[in-house]
Amino acid sequence: MSSTGVFAAISYMASAVLLVMFNKAALSSYRFPSANVITLLQMLSSCLILYVMRYFKIISFNNDRSKSEHNNNLFTLVSTKRLFQTIPLAFTYLLYMLVTMESVRNINVPMYTTLRRTTILFTMIMEYFLAGQKHSALIIFSVGIIILGAIIAGIRDLSFDGYGYGLVFTANICTATYLALISRIGRKSSGLNIFGLMWCNGIICIPFLLLWTSVKGELEAMLSFPHLYSVGFQVVICLSCVLAFMINYSVFLNTTLNSALTHSICGNLKDLFTITLGWLIFAGLPFDWVNVMGQALGFTGSIFYAFFKYKGM
């Protein structure tokens, strides 16, 4: 892993942890009822930031800046051909968001966290089928330790729920497919760089997400939200949108420079830091040695993975 790849991984984990905190502040502290509206606002903000940066020629949407389009028409910044090439990536991401939100609403958090960590295994499988990526026995061994740690951490809370399990595993498949597609499209000669892929992702997803939030009545609920014009709430939402842009960029960068599996490992480490901050910041969280042992085992597996990856094993 290069120094740039290490920076990409650390940037993803840092922005992801901060984003969780600000989202939690909006949804829990202010009791904002429309989680999907926050996602919609984050996507709109991301596209706005990309458009402004593209307008002032700070960035380009192409790998070769010399071939960058010179017009600033909102609908022709990316050609129709390139836009169609990214449709599988965008729809997988949209499905992942919707299924994830549904799974969080229907199952308890410990079971959700435990099952979501098995995304690492799904990612390895999707990398093999979509990108032909193979991993060494040592890498597979370290991933096995991570999954075992996740099972131990949540063993006291696991109870069979067919519908809940189905939702989470569907979310895992969508996540793994999304990461593998990023890696695959990033290597193809589509002519789009990370910013171009982010733009296509937003342009394709926003209309569908807007329709979904309208049908579910979340936009109407937002307009009647009592803290909508509160400065504190608006600051939290603005920071959440900025962090969402940063995390979207770091997801593409980390997956492109490193691999989809490395990104999943970073997600596992990020969860560990988030849980630790939760214990330190929020009162009333239960302490369980079995859970701690599972978390430690998962962290050990992540260290093994990082070491084997660094050594090229």
**What pLDDT is stored for residue 118 in this prediction?**
75
Q: Does residue 121 fall inside a structural domain?
A: yes
What's the CA gap between 255 and 278, in Å, rounded?
A: 27
Whether 206 is in a domain gets the answer yes
Report yes or no on 266 lying in a domain.
no
SS3 152: helix
- Tens digits of residue pLDDT in 102-124: 666 666 555 666 677 777 788 78
Check if the beta carbon of residue 185 is closer than 8 Å to that of residue 83. no
Overall domain count for the chain: 1
Within-domain flag for 171: yes
Domain residues for the domain of 165 are 3-59+83-135+160-259
Domain assignment of residue 148, yes or no: no
Distance separating alpha carbons of residues 300 and 249, to the nearest angstrom: 28
In a domain, 194, yes or no: yes
Q: Is 225 helix (H, G, I), strand (E, B) or coil?
A: coil
Q: What is the pTM of this model?
A: 0.76
Segments of the chain with pLDDT less than 70: 1-2, 64-75, 101-114, 131, 153-161, 186-190, 260-261, 263-264, 267-288, 291-292, 295, 306, 309-313
**Radius of gyration for the chain, computed over Cα atoms and rounded to the nearest angstrom:** 20
DSSP class of residue 78 equals S
Q: Is residue 305 included in any domain, yes or no?
A: no
Taking the C-alpha atoms of residue 265 and residue 61, their distance in angstroms, rounded to an integer, is 28
Q: Is 195 inside a domain boundary?
A: yes
